[in-house]
Amino acid sequence: MNLMEIGKNPEILKSETAEQPKNSEIITENLTQLSQLPEESPIKLKVERDLLMQSFERAKEFMRTQKKQIQMLEEEKQTILSDRQRLREEVRKSTVEIQCLTTELSETQKLNQSLQQSNDDLRNRNGLMSRSEQEQLEEEIRDVRDQNSKLQIQVNKSSVEAVDDAQKKQKEAEKKMEQAEAKARNEKKRAEMEIRKTKKEVKARTEKMRDAEYFWGIGYITVILFAIIQNGAFQHDFIDFFRIPFTWYVRFCEWLVYPTYDNGFNQKIAYTGGEAWVIRILAIVAIIFILAIMIVMIVEAIKRYKKCGMKFHRCF
C-alpha cells in the first residue's frame, strides 16, 4: 500500500485507525471476564494465562502489521523523493533546452531579417541588371551568328583547297620525320665510332703505361738486388735461408729412420718397434697435411690474383 492509494482512498486509513480501539476493547473485556472468576481457582489462572498469551500474540501481530506499513511508507517516500529529483533534473534540462532554442530562434530571426533585406536589395536592383545583361547577350549572339555565317561561306569555298593543303602538309611532315630519323641514325653511328676509337686509344695508352711501369719496376728490382747481393752478410743469410731448412729436413729424416728420445741425462734412447712405426706414420700424416695446406693457400692466392687482374682489365 503506497501513499498515492492512501490519498485516493481515505477510508482505508480510517479502517486501519479503527482497528486499534477494537483490539484494546477486546483486551479489556478479557480482563473483566477474569476478574469475575474466583481468585484462587486453577481454572481462573489457566484461563488468565491463555487470555494473556492470546492478547500478547494479537499485540505482536498488530506490531508486525504496523512495522510493515511503516516500511512500505518509507519505501514509498524514497520513491517519491527519487521521482522528485528526476523531475527536477528534467525541468532543469528542459529549461536549458528552452534557452538554447530561444537563442537559436533569435539567431534565425536575425538571419531571416538580413536575408530579407538582401533579397529586397536584389529585387530593387534586379530590373536594371537583367536589362543590361540581356542587351549585351543579344549583341554577342548577333556577333556569333555573323561570324558563323562568314566561316560557313569560307568553308564551302575552300574545302577542296583545305584538303589539298592538309595532304601537302602531311607529306612534308613525313619527309621531315624521315630526315630526322636518318640524321639520328647517322649521329648514333658516329657516336659509336667515337666511343670505339676512344676505347682503343685508352687501351693503347694503358698498355704503354703498364709496359713502362713493368720495365722500370724490373730495373729498380735488379738494381736493388745487385746492391744487396754485394753485401757479404746478405749472401750468408740468403744461403742459410735455404741451407738450414734443408739440414733440418735431413736430420728429421735420419731421426725418422731411427727415432730416439733424450732421457734427461744426455742419453739417446731408441723407441721400440711399435712406437717407432706410430711416430713415423704420424710424421708422414703431418707432413702431408702441411703440404696440402700450402698447396691450397698457393691456389687461392693464384685465384685472387687472376680476379684482380680481370677487374683491372675490365676497368680499361
Q: What is the DSSP string of the chain?
A: --HHHHHH-HHHHHHHHHHHHHHHHHHHHHHHHHHHS-TT-HHHHHHHHHHHHHHHHHHHHHHHHHHHHHHHHHHHHHHHHHHHHHHHHHHHHHHHHHHHHHHHHHHHHHHHHHHHHHHHHHHHHHHHHHHHHHHHHHHHHHHHHHHHHHHHHHHHHHHHHHHHHHHHHHHHHHHHHHHHHHHHHHHHHHHHHHHHHHHHHHHHHHHHHHHHHHHHHHHHHHHHHHHHHT-HHHHHHHHHHHHHHHHHHHHHHHHHHS-EEE-SSS-EEE--HHHHHHHHHHHHHHHHHHHHHHHHHHHHHHHHHHHHHHHHHHH-
pLDDT along the chain (316 residues), means of 10: 43 46 51 49 68 78 82 82 78 77 70 63 54 62 64 58 67 77 80 83 82 84 81 78 84 77 68 77 87 92 79 55
Please tell me the distance from the alpha carbon of residue 49 to that of residue 46, in angstroms, as a whole number. 5
Query: Which of 67, 65, 58, 57 lies closest to 22 in space, CA to CA?
Result: 58
Q: What is the pLDDT of residue 129?
A: 47
Q: Where are the domains positioned within the chain? A: 3-118
**pTM over cut 0.75:** no
Please tell me the distance from the alpha carbon of residue 238 to that of residue 229, in angstroms, as a whole number. 9
pLDDT in tens, 132-188: 655 666 676 666 666 656 656 655 555 556 566 667 777 777 777 788 778 778 887
Q: What is the pLDDT of residue 295?
A: 93
Residue 262 β-bridge partners: 268
Q: What is the pLDDT of residue 236?
A: 81
